[in-house]
Homo-oligomer: A and B are copies of this chain.
Amino acid sequence: MAGLSREDLASRAIASEKYVRRMLATHGLRPTRQRIGLIKLLFGSGNRHVTADCLAAEARAVQMPMSLATVYNALNNFANVGLLRRLEIGVGRTVFDTSTSDHSHFFFEDSGEIADIAVDGSRLAQEIVVPEGYKIAKVDIVVRLRKAS
């Protein structure tokens, strides 16, 4: 892959518009003002788990208001090209993870928060007998946590 990877950017503390633009170009996405702003928010501070709604609120907070539909479009675009990972946590709304590496998640039932776990699904995948004609696309593991009584 030519250009800068997502990890490179994240580790660089980002912010430089130049890198963001190249990151988008690398994935075949036009560097629009909105996308650039969102990428900065998403990758500017370590791994994150965001919804369209909360990301739009953040954008508003930094004086970069944009349509909620645009945020949805952008997040879907980013996920489709591999910049983000769509999480299937089963809360009502779609959550996007800025870390695309193979890892699992804690889901805190009391607060609704999500956190990464190092445990990956690939090891587990090896012991599974896959049905004829299919291959494993992804293994999602969610550890749901409840307050200890």
Interface, chain A (partner B; CB < 8 A)? 87-91, 106, 108-109, 115, 117, 119, 121, 124-125, 127-128, 130-131, 133-149
Q: Which 8 pairs of residues, A with B, have the shortest CB-CB distance?
A: A88-B90, A137-B146, A134-B145, A137-B144, A138-B144, A140-B142, A135-B148, A141-B141
What residues of chain B lie closer than 8 Å to A148, measured between beta carbons? 133-135
What separation, in Å, do the CA atoms of A131 and B145 have in the docked complex? Answer: 9
Across-interface contacts of A119 in B (CB, < 8 A): 124, 127-128
Asked if B140 and A135 make an inter-chain contact with CB atoms under 8 angstroms apart, the answer reads no
Number of copies: 2
The answer to whether B128 touches A117 (Cβ under 8 A) is yes
The DSSP consensus for interface residues of chain A is strand
Question: In the complex, what residue of chain B is closest to A140 when comparing beta carbons?
Answer: B142
Which residues of chain B are near A133, meaning CB under 8 Å? 147-148
20 A-B residue pairings within 8 Å (CB atoms): A90-B140, A106-B131, A108-B134, A109-B137, A121-B141, A124-B124, A130-B143, A130-B145, A131-B145, A133-B147, A134-B146, A135-B147, A135-B148, A136-B146, A137-B145, A138-B144, A139-B142, A139-B143, A140-B141, A141-B142
